[in-house]
Every structure is written in C-alpha cells, then in structure tokens.
C-alpha cells in the first residue's frame, strides 16, 4: 500500500497581489461610501456593499502573506495584537458598509443615525484599529529587521497620524490602503514578481 507523500504548504509568491487587490477594492468602496454619505446615494452604497466582502477576503490574504514573512521570528504577543487588530478593522469596515446601506434606504432621523453610525464604525473605530495594526507590524519589523528602516519609520508616522486625526477628515481612511499598496509592492518586489530595475 502506497502512503501518499505529504507536502508542506507554502505561500505562493504572487499571494502578495492580495494587498494590491485590497488597496484597489477598498479605496473604491470607501470613495463610493464617502460620496454617498451626504445624500445617501442608493446605487453607490449598493456597489460598495457588494465590493466590500471581496476587499475583506483580499485583506485576509494580505494578513496571511505578511504573517508568513515573519517565519521563525514570529512572537505570540505581537502576532496576537497584529491579527486581532486586523480582524477588528475588517469587522468595523463591514459594519460601516452595512450601516451605509441602511442610511441609503432610510430617511429623516433614521438615515441621519445610520450615517453617524457609518462614520463612527469607519473613522472612530475602524481607522484606529488600522493604526494599531500598522504600529504592531512596524514594531515587529523594527525588532526583526525584516523590512527596511524607512518603511518602519513611515509606518509609525502614518499610524500616529491616523490614530490622532481619524475623526478630522473622513477621507483619511484612504491612507491605510495606500500604505497596504506600498507594503505589497515591496513584498512583490522581494518575491521577484515585480522587477523595479527594468
């Protein structure tokens, strides 16, 4: 009787494309939601709500790719905060997308309440969880030297800015997918999927 050969799972090199996909989808979702907030545009919020789960799937893949990069350097404490803040960010954005839909299908006081809830989920809670995600990841990179120092410093600065100013502008949420895009391009370059020297 032949015993099946077991193979160790490995992260595909192109899996870092998930971060690029997340950045594109999430930016699209946020722009549609933010433009729809003042007037409750039904079509825009419906498109945003349809795209949001796909952005979420891409973000989960991005978390997996980044965590895979830790290798043997992974620390349980930092990994727990990293994964937990990432999942909370995603949950808050799903909630913001859902309440945005509710705002589009309501009027009067109910619509106003749903719009405020959308902003609270997205900016007050979601963005701050994104900042914690970034700070934790920057700390892991700083302690392990897995990423260049300029990225660590830029991540800390962007995260502190998001943490402090997330309620000032509803467009600040776009800083997070821009950061994910930057990290993803760097990961793809290291994996040899993108050659920046061409």
* 81-128 tens-digit pLDDT: 999 999 999 999 999 888 888 777 777 788 788 888 888 888 889 999
Find, among 91, 117, 89, the residue nearest to 102 by Cα: 117
Q: How far apart are CA 29 and CA 50, in angstroms?
A: 9
| Encoded tokens for 12 | 């595909």
- Is a pLDDT exceeding 60 seen at residue 178? yes
- Beta strand residue intervals within 26-132, DSSP E: none
12-16, 84-88, 145-149, range with the lowest pLDDT: 12-16
Using CA atoms in the order 145, 62, 90, 96, what is the torsion angle rounded to 10 degrees? Answer: 120
5-14, 59-68, 77-86, range with the lowest pLDDT: 5-14
Give φ, ψ of 170 to 5 degrees: -75, -10
- Is a pLDDT exceeding 60 seen at residue 171? yes
- Is a pLDDT exceeding 90 seen at residue 22? yes
User: What is residue 33's predicted lDDT score, i.e. its pLDDT?
Assistant: 80
Instruction: Identify the residue whose tokens are 């920046």.
Output: 196
Q: How far apart are CA 46 and CA 96, in angstroms?
A: 13
Sign of CA dihedral 41, 119, 97, 172: positive
User: What is residue 149's predicted lDDT score, i.e. its pLDDT?
Assistant: 94
Q: How far apart are CA 30 and CA 166, in angstroms?
A: 14
User: What is residue 101's predicted lDDT score, i.e. its pLDDT?
Assistant: 81
Average pLDDT over residues 144-162: 93
What percent of the chain is modeled with pLDDT above 70? 86
User: What is residue 32's predicted lDDT score, i.e. its pLDDT?
Assistant: 86
Distances (CA, A) of 124 to 16, 147, 197: 28, 29, 40
Q: How far apart are CA 19 and CA 21, in angstroms?
A: 5
Assign 40 to helix, strand or coil: coil
**In terms of residues, how long is the chain?**
198
pTM: 0.85
């Amino acid at each position: 009787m032949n015993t099946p050969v077991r193979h160790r799972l490995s992260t595909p090199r192109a899996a870092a494309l998930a971060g690029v996909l997340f950045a594109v989808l999430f930016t699209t979702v946020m722009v549609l939601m933010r433009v729809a907030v003042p007037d409750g545009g039904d079509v825009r919020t419906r498109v945003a709500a349809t795209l949001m789960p796909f952005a979420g799937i891409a973000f989960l893949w991005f978390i997996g790719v980044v965590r895979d990069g830790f290798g043997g350097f992974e620390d349980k404490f930092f990994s727990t905060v990293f994964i937990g803040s990432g999942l909370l960010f995603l949950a808050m954005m799903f909630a913001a997308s859902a309440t945005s839909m509710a705002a589009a299908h309501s009027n009067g006081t109910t619509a106003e309440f749903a719009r405020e809830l959308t902003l609270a989920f997205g900016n007050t809670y979601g963005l701050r969880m994104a900042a914690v995600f970034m700070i934790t990841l920057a700390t892991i990179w700083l302690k392990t030297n897995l990423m260049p120092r300029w990225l660590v410093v830029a991540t800390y600065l962007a995260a502190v800015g998001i943490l402090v100013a997330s309620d000032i502008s509803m467009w600040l949420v776009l800083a997070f997918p821009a950061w994910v895009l930057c990290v993803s391009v760097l990961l793809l370059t290291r994996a040899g999927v993108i050659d920046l020297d061409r």
